[in-house]
Chains A and B, each alone.
Chain A
């Protein structure tokens, strides 16, 4: 099972603990997480269901290549991290 973890910054707004998912792609993994937690979608995706510009996803230490369709493949034990890009102010 792959593991999916979210930036702790999201804890200010909603409950989204790390979870395990059985999924072949990042899109599948995220879909499972959002199905269980619909509010989370508004924090990660924009109105067109695109990954928000300042949200980054890493799989096994590498940033995903397909930000539009999240088609990057997962291994059975992949570790997925959903993070916010840093900004000032």
Chain B
């Protein structure tokens, strides 16, 4: 099967196909032309594809295309229960969508803004709010990071135990369940938020992990690109080690981990807090090959300054081989690498703002 890259943008879902080594073709016009695509999933268990849209005027929608088919059909969207006084929350965005484990072939998990985790056991035909997390008293202390409300943007299912889930929340820290979502515990000891008052800096519930990924081959290894920097866990997210002094910056949104080698991870950094642009206006990818002991800053194939591309949480991905990577920017630039990030090639500098990139095949 040819390698495909799906690119979710402010104006639709583009499909990019690798037609041969170093040859890529962007198909256009995109699916859902004109609509913001906030999440995409191709379920590796059955090939079904899902696209989450945020229509703005008319709310959040979810579409599914059956494996091999081109027809997108609207399906149910996660919905918050109706409050008796009608003042309750409403879905603002689907920010994460992942398949359940091999033992749960029809299960999907959705992370949303304003902070609800939803489960489907029928391929998205219906959804249930996971009340066990929603009702945790600590949720009072969650707050929005870049959006008006907190959101779940990273859901990592343990590949060897479908009932073990780890979530990352902006801003609500990291949470774990080992019983399929029936019970939850706050984890993430060691995460540090320098922007908080000193006595709050290590408070787990106050952390803003921008993105969390799990190594498929070594599931206890998690990488987090946090608001405050880069963190690594070797115990499934219970504790983290901060990695400092990464040049040119430890700030960013996206992280990808090699699926077979837990020590290899990639980041696309920027200047922190109010700026959120590449350092010195020069786009760069940073990579570690030794678990974070050292990093390389890779510029090969990336544009010279001025290049003010910012890469969001889901804007970086690595394929199943670990050799091919892609990232897309909020200014519509799309780059690929076929050598584990040694060098990059721009496929387009003129796409709509990119929310996410996802490899399939």
Binding site for B on A (CB under 8 A): 9-10, 13, 39, 42-44, 46-50, 52, 54-55, 68, 84-85, 87, 89
Contacts and interface: CB of A to CB of B under 8 A. Distances in A.
A47 B57 contact: no
Nearest to B85: A48
A52 B86 contact: no
Interface centre among A42, A47, A49, A85 (most CB of B within 10 A): A47
B58 A47 contact: no
A54 B86 contact: no
B233 to A, nearest CB: 34
B82 interface: yes
Given A84-B58, A85-B57, A47 B86 contact: no
A84 B57 CA distance: 6
Contacts, number: 52
Given A39-B74, A47-B80, A47-B82, A54 B89 contact: no
Nearest to A68: B86
Given A52-B59, A84-B57, 10 more contacts: A10-B58, A13-B74, A39-B74, A42-B58, A47-B80, A48-B83, A54-B57, A68-B86, A87-B56, A89-B10
A69 to B, nearest CB: 9
A87 B58 CA distance: 12
B90 A44 contact: no
Contacts of A43: 55, 58-59
A54 B56 contact: yes
B91 interface: yes
Nearest to A55: B57
Nearest to A54: B57
A47 B56 contact: no
Interface in B75-93: 77, 79-83, 86-91
Nearest to B35: A12
A48 B90 contact: yes
B218 interface: no
B276 interface: no
A55 B55 CA distance: 12
Contacts of B83: 48
Nearest to B34: A12
Interface string B61-105: 100000000000010010111110011111100000000000000
Contacts of B91: 46-47
A83 B10 CA distance: 22
A44 to B, nearest CB: 7
